[in-house]
Amino acid sequence: MHHWTKRNVVMMCSLALFPPPLSGDGETSQYNESNTDPSVWFEDSPALNLYFPRESLKPHSRQESSSKSAFRDHCETLYTRSAGAWRDAGLSGLLNEIANSSAEVPKWLGVSSSCVLALLRWVSSFHSSLFPHLTASLSDCHYLALCLQLSSEEMTAEFSQVLDWSDCAVRGFAWHPHTQKCAVALSDDSIKIYNPKSATTPTLKHRLQRSVAALQWKPLCASALAVACHNCLLVWHVDPTSLSTRPSSGCAQVLSHPGHSPVTSVAWSPNGPLLVSASPRDTALLVWDVAVESCVPLHRVGGGGVTYLSWSPDGSRVLAATPSSLFRVWETRMWTCERWPSLKGRCQSGCWSPDGSRLLFTVQGETVIYALTFTDNPGVPLMMSGGPKAATVVADLSETTLNTPDGDIMVGGEIQSLAWDPRGERLAVHVKGDAGAGRPAMIAVFKTQISPAFKLLPCGFVQGEAGTEPRLMQFNPNYQHGAQLTVCWSNGKITHVPFCFMSAGNPQPGLGGSPSFPLTQGRPADYNNQTLYTELIS
């Protein structure tokens, strides 16, 4: 058992040390460090600046229900509809149907079916947290209340890494880990695949591909794309040489497991055939062997579900967050886990350093970033080795006011997601903000250094056009000249923000002779030298 011992250090607000954001509202996203046109930095291919205006996409939920109502005659008898609901969604669907058509059924039947439905939801989400951990019981109660009132779709929205998922035109984005190719999940339940080197843009649609919460390309493979859907996992095999723009649904493997819905997170093992998937309603973490379509459920008591997964880049550990104030870190050699009952709130997001030795995570309701350091060998189970005993606070992003030429602006707040670039030099923090209080959602970028000691330095903010806010971000793993952050904005645009730097640890050989790249010139030079956090080496 590991407990928090929050370091008793008065953490000064990290954002106060940041250079204030520029006030201009340009066409492209702005980045204070080096204000360059993002489209330039793709190798020798056209830029992937994509734009999905919301009007062009049919709203997801409407479409679903409207198509259903178009085809299913509402004059059908209750019996027929119930049979259909039973076939589509099992017992809960049947109960839902009965509860919804209260006009046609006797009152006692409607009431009792709604009661049973609520009970079912409660049981299905809690069947293994009968003995919740003492410290976690309060927030488990909170989660109970949450589960009872949330439908599957709302649950996906609640636990997704995308800010305001249900309203977002772009619901998921995934760069291919090895080649310049990306997949975009849109709110009309389709997925488009963009490859700058190819003229075709395959569109993936499947009957079961509803409310996509996450997607990820399989490492060490050209074609496989895992998609977390409403009540199953889809693994698409998109032949990169095919000229087809609409791969048939036969190209998709459907992986489903009873009780495992909605799927909110997926993660591929970086060097193997395994895929893990999580659902807030299922207490088990599923480990899939995708080729043979079999899965091993890993049940543990407590937590009440799994919401977010992140596999460390070296493949040795998996972070599994639960809807309650508890998260687990699994080691992947023997699949044992250690529990981290956290202080308050659930673990919202997390990211691993490239060597897998450090985990940064954020907690819902808090404005700080915690760090865990793992020093052991990857082969040794966590229980037996000296894993970390306490998490340390490395950054505090609480609200602060920055002076800009246009006046003071408020920044900071709760953290939605974290992203660490594959070289470990930049850390992007997606701050939720609060539109009502005049704090926009924005992305704060830190410079990081992993060896010899872990350091965080302020870098800058990433801003979009006026009136837009970032919804989703991911670093491009194939960018040669530094780091490139892909941001999906609330207006449906996807832009790429380059961070050009000479890597201190391993200078890129190809970069030496090309002076045309504007290297990082920290505009406000004095800001860059103030270290926010340095690990004490004792």
Partner 1 sequence: MFSSDQSCWFVRKVICWRAVASMAWSVLLLLPTTALFVLLSRFSLFHPILWMSECLSLLTSASAIFSFILLCGVVLMVGFFNLEYYTVVPSIACSKIALLGQVLHPRQFVHSLVHCIMGVVVAWCCAFTIGGRYRSLGHPCTQDESSSGPEMCLNEYHLVLLLAGAFIGYSHSLVGVVYNMNYVSFHTMQQYKYLRFKGALPLVVKASAVQALYCLRSFLLLYFFMGYAPRAWICKTLDLSINSSIHSLDSVSSLLDLSLLYHLWISGTFLLLTWYITVLLFRIFVTEVYSFPVQSTFTEDAHQCLPKVITGTQPMILKFLALQDLALLSQHSPSRRLEVFSLSQPGGHPHIWTALSKECLSLLSDLTERLVAHHDTVATNGRAKSQSTGSNKRSTTSSEGSVTSVGMEDMKTPRPSALIRTPGSVFLRSSVGAGLRTPLTTPFTPDLDSPFSSPALRRLTGPLEPQGALSPGFSSIQSPHVMRRGPKLWSASTDSQLNGSPPPSPGPAPSPSQAQLKPSFLVTFLQNRKDQLPEASSQALFADSQVHIWALQGLSHLVAASFSEDQYGIVQTTLPTILSTLLLLQEAVDRHFKLPHTSSKPGHCSCSMGDDSYKTLRFALRSTLKTAVYRITATFGGHLHAVQMSAEHRKRLQHFLEYKE
Q: What are phi and psi of 140, to 5 degrees?
A: -65, -40
Q: Does the N-terminal peptide bond of residue 518 adopt cis geometry, omega within 30 degrees of 0? A: no
- Residue 252 interacting with partner 1 (CB under 8 A): yes
Strands (E), 345-491: 347-352, 358-363, 368-373, 392-396, 400-404, 407-411, 415-420, 426-431, 442-449, 455-463, 470-475, 482-489
* Span interacting with partner 1, options 17-25, 116-124, 290-298, 446-454, rule CB under 8 A: 290-298
* Span interacting with partner 1, options 138-146, 252-260, 466-474, 524-532, rule CB under 8 A: 252-260
Residue 214 bridge partners (DSSP): 228
DSSP 3-state of 173: strand
Size of the site for partner 1 (CB under 8 A): 38
Residue placing its CB nearer to partner 1 in the complex, 251 or 320: 251
Interaction mask 375-394, partner 1, x per CB under 8 A: --xxx---------------
- Residue 208 interacting with partner 1 (CB under 8 A): no
Q: What are phi and psi of 62, to 5 degrees?
A: -60, -50
- Residue 128 interacting with partner 1 (CB under 8 A): no
What distance in Å separates the CA atoms of residue 26 and residue 39, rounded to the nearest whole number? 14
Residue-wise over 407-440: b if at least 16 C-beta within 10 A, else e? eebbbbbbbbbbbbbbbbbbbbbbbbbeeeeebb
Strands (E), 109-231: 170-175, 182-186, 191-194, 203-204, 214-217, 224-228
* Span interacting with partner 1, options 36-44, 84-92, 127-135, 236-244, rule CB under 8 A: 236-244
The DSSP 8-state label assigned to residue 179 in this structure reads: S
Residue placing its CB nearer to partner 1 in the complex, 278 or 360: 278
- Contacts (CB under 8 A) with partner 1, residues 155-194: 176, 178-179, 181
CB of 147 to partner 1, least distance (A): 23
- Residue 455 interacting with partner 1 (CB under 8 A): no
- Contacts (CB under 8 A) with partner 1, residues 260-279: 271-274
| Burial classification of residue 452, based on how many CB atoms lie within 10 Å of its CB (0-12 exposed, 13-18 middle, 19 or more buried) | exposed
- Residue 336 interacting with partner 1 (CB under 8 A): yes
What distance in Å separates the CA atoms of residue 151 and residue 218, rounded to the nearest whole number? 30
Residue placing its CB nearer to partner 1 in the complex, 142 or 237: 237
Residue placing its CB nearer to partner 1 in the complex, 80 or 294: 294
One residue of 12, 111, 138, 296 binding partner 1 per CB under 8 A: 296
CB of 515 to partner 1, least distance (A): 24
CB of 242 to partner 1, least distance (A): 10
- Contacts (CB under 8 A) with partner 1, residues 43-72: none
CB 427 within 8 A of CB 444: no
Residue placing its CB nearer to partner 1 in the complex, 171 or 300: 300
* Span interacting with partner 1, options 147-155, 217-225, 442-450, 503-511, rule CB under 8 A: 217-225
CB of 179 to partner 1, least distance (A): 4
- Residue 299 interacting with partner 1 (CB under 8 A): yes
Q: What are phi and psi of 525, to 5 degrees?
A: -60, -35
- Chain length of the chain: 538
Residue placing its CB nearer to partner 1 in the complex, 59 or 378: 378
- Residue 508 interacting with partner 1 (CB under 8 A): no
Residue placing its CB nearer to partner 1 in the complex, 45 or 67: 45
One residue of 8, 241, 516, 529 binding partner 1 per CB under 8 A: 241
Residue 297: its H or E element: strand 294-299
Chain centroid to CA 308: how far?
A: 7
- Residue 220 interacting with partner 1 (CB under 8 A): yes
Please report where in the chains the tokens 């011992």 appear, as a residue.
Answer: 5
CA-wise closest residue to 327 among 336, 345, 339: 339
What distance in Å separates the CA atoms of residue 96 and residue 85, rounded to the nearest whole number? 8
- Residue 87 interacting with partner 1 (CB under 8 A): no
Helices within 422-538 (DSSP H only): 525-528
CA-angle at 485, arms to 484 and 489, nearest 5° = 145
- Contacts (CB under 8 A) with partner 1, residues 391-430: none
State the residues that interact with partner 1 by CB under 8 A.
176, 178-179, 181, 220-223, 237, 240-241, 250-254, 271-274, 287, 289-294, 296-299, 333-336, 377-379
